[in-house]
Amino acid sequence: MPAIPTYFQTAMPAISLPSDAPQQTTTLPIRKHEFPTPTLRLHLQDLSHDGSSIFLSNIKGSEDLEQQCQNVLNLLYDHDSIRPGTRSVTFVLRAYDGLAYTTGIDLDQDHKEIHINLDYLLKIRGDVRHELLGVICHELVHCFQWAAEGTANGGLIEGMADYVRLNAGLSAEHWKKEAGGDWDGGYQHTGYFLQHLEEKLGKGTVKKINAGLREGQYDEKKLFKSCCGGKEVGELWEEYRNDLEKKQKEDGKEEKPSGTEEAKIIPTDTPPKFEGTK
């Protein structure tokens, strides 16, 4: 029985200021193919909680959730790709300690639950709809991505989720490209690296990496060599860092040398947790 991963997002201190601008988040026109959408359900644990009103006034259930499913599927798969058999996604809004996470139900992993913390919804500053759609998009990736039967590198899994969020036009305000640290720092740090691979090595590279996680145990060397022109991930990361540092120097924003305090990764989430591991 493969380990069942549960992926978490936790709160990031708000650094953006509240904006008076009208909410007008739209997503990019990336829906080339219409995939079958799983059954989508919404469970509000406490209607009297202010977070419930925030959710209901910002998210149009009949359109937004389905649209984010389509965005995620279009960014991860071609129309004829083999996809996980996700049959339903239930959004569970309840107050708990955290931001959001995705899990499968015990009886059947094809039924997913995305839990979103109602208290967190009260704390969002700036464009609430944009942030909320971003969180939903990120979590939906966990409902549809491959994960090498639960053995994949957690940083890659989280990076894939933020790569999709980025390409769905839903990146967060505090995100930035970072050349420091390791390639698998996760979230937007790894998401921007995947974006670089997609641009450098060709459209479909990230879809190939996702497809490479479909069967068997995680084999990093084999995965990147087969998807990225025979190169290992360390080499690709080095190239990305060099490219980024060069670009930042040209733009007059000199990057601090890697490995220093200043160059460390800004965490936006906690790493995924796998059953049976610490």
Q: Based on CB atoms, which residue is closest to Zn ion, 113 or 255?
A: 113
Quick one: which of 155, 158, 163, 258 has its CA closest to 206? 163
Q: Based on CB atoms, which residue is closest to Zn ion, 65 or 136?
A: 136
Q: Which of 76, 124, 161, 170 lies at the binding interface for Zn ion (CB under 5 A)? A: 161
Span of 109-117, 151-159, 164-172, 212-220 interacting with Zn ion by CB under 5 A: 151-159
Judge contact between 4 and 104, C-beta under 8 A: yes
Q: Based on CB atoms, which residue is closest to Zn ion, 7 or 55?
A: 7
Span of 6-14, 28-36, 167-175, 196-204 interacting with Zn ion by CB under 5 A: 6-14
The reply on whether position 7 binds Zn ion by CB under 5 A is: yes
HEC secondary structure over 204-250: CHHHHHHHCCCCCCCCHHHHHHHHCCCCCHHHHHHHHHHHHHHHHHH
Quick one: which of 174, 51, 200, 175 has its CA closest to 121? 51
The nearest distance, CB 130 to Zn ion, in angstroms, is: 18
Q: Which residue has the tokens 């969020």?
A: 165
Q: Could you give the residue ranges of the DSSP H alpha helices within 48-186? A: 50-58, 64-76, 118-123, 128-144, 154-167
The nearest distance, CB 157 to Zn ion, in angstroms, is: 7
Span of 4-12, 14-22, 129-137, 259-267 interacting with Zn ion by CB under 5 A: 4-12
Q: Which residue has the tokens 């998807």?
A: 227
The nearest distance, CB 161 to Zn ion, in angstroms, is: 5
Which residues in 37-96 contact Zn ion (CB under 5 A)?
Answer: none
Judge contact between 270 and 185, C-beta under 8 A: no
Nearest residue (beta carbon) to Zn ion? 7
The nearest distance, CB 271 to Zn ion, in angstroms, is: 9
Q: Based on CB atoms, which residue is closest to Zn ion, 93 or 141?
A: 141
The reply on whether position 144 binds Zn ion by CB under 5 A is: no
Query: Cα–Cα distance between 116 and 94 in angstroms, integer?
Result: 6
Largest CA distance in the chain: 55
The nearest distance, CB 134 to Zn ion, in angstroms, is: 11
Q: Where does this chain bind Zn ion (CB under 5 A)?
A: 7, 158, 161
